[in-house]
Structure 1
């Protein structure tokens, strides 16, 4: 599986001729480095409804004639916007053509902004994405929580994307513990440096990971690594 980072929490995963994008916040993201028009995928996956994750999902789904996969309430909102959608919920697993998705807990909030109003978008989630014999875990926006140990015990996680920005999610110290609990072999730090409030040093975080025997990948937008 090839993982390409497009800033903030956006990740493109490719394997076996299939590709999916997670949390495609590209327009308005000063660090994305790519236009939604350049995205070619078989599905869009969302961890929750906040605008810096929901992003360009509707445009991308329409352009690629592909489904948006999300927690039920968020999926139904997407469907109301004229796209294909597949609703799931926390703990559920589903096989698609060339990949599998399972939603895990994430401790955060989730809503969609419409004008001056906020629409409830179901529970936030993490995503276990399996393509071939590799599993990538996107934790979404989350605090550190004890059941990360259980997620790590139940799944062989080849790589994980963990937020390190603090303020709105866990910070580097908690993310380091999360990586250990998840037993991840490789870690991509996400959700940092997009805005001044979440400034962190991804390279320093990766150095701390290496001290625990975990390979860190503080990627710049457009850079990739292989599982």
Structure 2
């Protein structure tokens, strides 16, 4: 990963100061009327809007991601939640995009990004270490990607996460991500408007993965409106519910 342009705040943690990092690719154009979302499998998504292409959690095709194609898509900025192969395989990404991988507050020439440290397992991070949840504004909406969160959201973390318009949340359980029940509890804390489930079992993993199917989460969330779409969609302010929340299901194109 040495060839990547790493951006970090030394010793960054949940209250770290803003590091001003100017880049020519990332500018103040992040505030536009909509954002395009492409689902690339597992917890990996590409969000495009305002001239920005932000890729979150690229992976290698192994284990729970064995049946997904490597996300070889062009991006200006790559955010990773950990350096595990299912959410931090930056070498599969073409070109030389900027990379954020540690918690902290960043300002990339007008684009403010907050990396929030959480535990990647239910044992205080002793097994899988730390997970970084990412928060930023794009397309006029506040976006939160929880990566592989597995622990309850603390008060300090909630303050940094705020009330997102769109949240990408793991729901399939296993040793390093929320179960459907834990995901529901996290959503009750966040009060997010649009919920995009990630990290659940599909035909891509078959018998190689411990995680549960998406229907387990949807059944638990019975009564919450569900919108179903393909592997790509466009979101704007008009899609954000004025009251309550909606679940946006994205499907992977095999």
Same structural fold, with TM-score higher than 0.5 when normalized by the shorter chain:
yes
1:22 aligned partner: 56
Separation of aligned partners in 2, 1:104 and 1:221: 27
1:64-75 to structure 2, matched below 5 A, reads 64-71=95-102
2:87 aligned partner: 53
- Equivalenced residues, count: 188
1:40 matched to 2:48? The reply is: no
1:94-173 to structure 2, matched below 5 A, reads 94-97=106-109, 99-108=111-120, 123-147=130-154, 151=158, 155-168=162-175, 169-173=177-181
Separation of aligned partners in 2, 1:152 and 1:179: 14
Structure 1 position 157, deviation (Å): 0.3
Contact 2:58 2:92 in 1 (8 A): no
Larger Rg: 2
**Cα gap change, 1:214 to 1:132, in 2 (>3 Å):** closer
- Give the root-mean-square deviation of aligned CA atoms: 2.9
Contact 2:54 2:77 in 1 (8 A): yes
Within the candidate set 204, 215, 219, 2:246 is matched to 215
Unaligned runs of 5+ in 2: 1-34, 122-127, 225-243
Separation of aligned partners in 1, 2:161 and 2:147: 19
Contact 2:195 2:246 in 1 (8 A): yes
**Cα gap change, 1:222 to 1:185, in 2 (>3 Å):** farther
Deviates more, 1:167-176 or 1:188-197: 188-197
Structure 1 position 124, deviation (Å): 2.2
Contact 2:105 2:112 in 1 (8 A): yes
2:194 aligned partner: 186
1:196 aligned partner: 209
Separation of aligned partners in 1, 2:220 and 2:81: 26
Separation of aligned partners in 2, 1:125 and 1:40: 22
Unaligned runs of 5+ in 1: 72-88, 110-120
TM-score under structure 1 length normalisation: 0.71
1:84 aligned partner: none
Separation of aligned partners in 1, 2:157 and 2:79: 23
For residues 70-120 of structure 1, the C-alpha deviation after alignment (integer angstroms, 9 at most, x for no partner) is: 11xxxxxxxxxxxxxxxxx3xx211225632101132116xxxxxxxxxxx
Structure 1 moving runs of 4+ over 3 Å: 34-37, 206-210
| Higher relative helix content | 1
